[in-house]
Amino acid sequence: MNTVKVEGTDKGHVLLLGLSTCIWCRKTKEFLESNNIQFEYVFVDLLESEEKDKVKETLKKWNPACSYPTLVLNNSSCVVGFDEEKIKLELLI
Amino acid sequence: MNSEVSEKETENLYKKLKSAADSGGYILNPDNSFTLALIEGLIVNEKRYGYQACPCRLASGTKNEDLDIICPCDYRDQDINEFGACYCALYVNKAVAEGKQKLKPVPERRSADRKDSTVETFSAANLKYPVWRCSVCGYICARTNPPEICPICKVPKERFEIFMK
């Protein structure tokens, strides 16, 4: 998966699946940035169809509703939507 | 901000949506910068796909598959009732608008594996006219064809489905 990497404090692997037009995805990204979290993100709406399908399959595994933003943490849990409290808990912020 | 969309375009669509919301009994999110960002997303999607798909959902690029998520989406009213806001929170209820209710993430109501038609069609005893239902606001009318635009929420006739015939 071609992701954009953002440097910061290592709190494990943090992957944000989002849409470039989605304000909640933007808020999630800004929240991670403002808390100096190291993460990777991908805007699924900007991908070419083949890559898009692959990422959608990955998303479906974590979040069957296939909604955005979805934050995959350490390849073991996920947070759906911009749920600030839950993200804080999961990332110990 | 997005370079593909001019401030003027965003402002024009905002005015249009605001006036439609005011006259239809809906409330646009009073957080202006938030609302303008969503409206910008709608314009990006219109340019990209040819229709104003919900900025917080992934459009397929095929209009017929996405009719239910063209803003205002088919899920707006239910989500406002249940969560105080539609899925992206462009539209909110009075309590949220007045700051008395806090916005929380609205779960996706749309099924990922949806086929089509969410409404079951009832076949009644040979109605003289079929009954059409607006999938956005629930307006119902009995006539040969749906109206060109919904007289209540102003969406085009493609958003109508047969409810009873």
Map out the domains of chain B as residue ranges. Answer: 7-97, 117-165
Q: What is the pLDDT of residue B11?
A: 97
Q: What is the ipTM of this complex?
A: 0.93
Of all residues in chain B, the one with the smallest CA distance to A79 is B105
Supply φ then ψ for residue B28, to 5 degrees. -75, 145
The chain-wide mean pLDDT, for chain A, equals 96
CA dist., res. A1 & res. B143, Å (int): 51
Shortest Cα distance, chain B CAs vs residue A35, angstroms: 20
CA dist., res. B127 & res. B103, Å (int): 44
Smallest CA-to-CA distance from B161 within B121, B111, B127 is with B121
pLDDT, tens digit (0-9, with 9 covering 90-100), for A9-49: 999 999 999 999 999 999 999 999 999 999 999 999 999 99
Which CATH architecture does the domain made up of B117-165 adopt? Answer: Single Sheet (2.20)
pTM recorded for the entire structure: 0.90
Of B34, B56, B106, the CB nearest to A22: B56
Angle B91-B8-A21 (CA atoms, 0-180°, nearest 5)? 50
pLDDT, tens digit (0-9, with 9 covering 90-100), for B81-98: 999 999 999 999 999 999
Query: Angle A84-91/A23-34 helices, nearest 10 degrees?
Result: 40
Which of residues 84 through 113 in chain B touch A, CB cutoff 8 A? 88-89, 104-108, 110, 112
* Band (B2; pLDDT cuts 50, 70, 90): low
pLDDT, tens digit (0-9, with 9 covering 90-100), for B134-154: 999 999 999 999 999 999 888
Q: In B, which residues are within 8 Å of A82 by CB distance?
A: 105
Domains parsed from chain A with CATH numbers: 4-91 (3.40.30.10)
Q: Cβ A65–B38 below 8 Å, yes or no?
A: no
| Interfacial residues of A (vs B; Cβ cutoff 8 Å) | 19-26, 44-45, 56, 60, 64-68, 80-83
What mean pLDDT comes out for the span A64-77?
96
Q: In A, which residues are within 8 Å of B59 by CB distance?
A: 45
Is residue B163 helix, strand or coil? Answer: strand
With a cut of 70, say whether residue B118 has pLDDT above it: no
Q: Cβ A60–B112 below 8 Å, yes or no?
A: yes
- What CATH fold (topology level) applies to the domain B7-97? Ferredoxin Thioredoxin Reductase (3.90.460)
Omega before B30 cis (within 30°)? no
Q: In A, which residues are within 8 Å of B57 by CB distance?
A: 19, 22, 67-68
With a cut of 70, say whether residue A92 has pLDDT above it: yes
Of B37, B89, B108, the CB nearest to A67: B108
Q: What is the pLDDT of residue B77?
A: 95
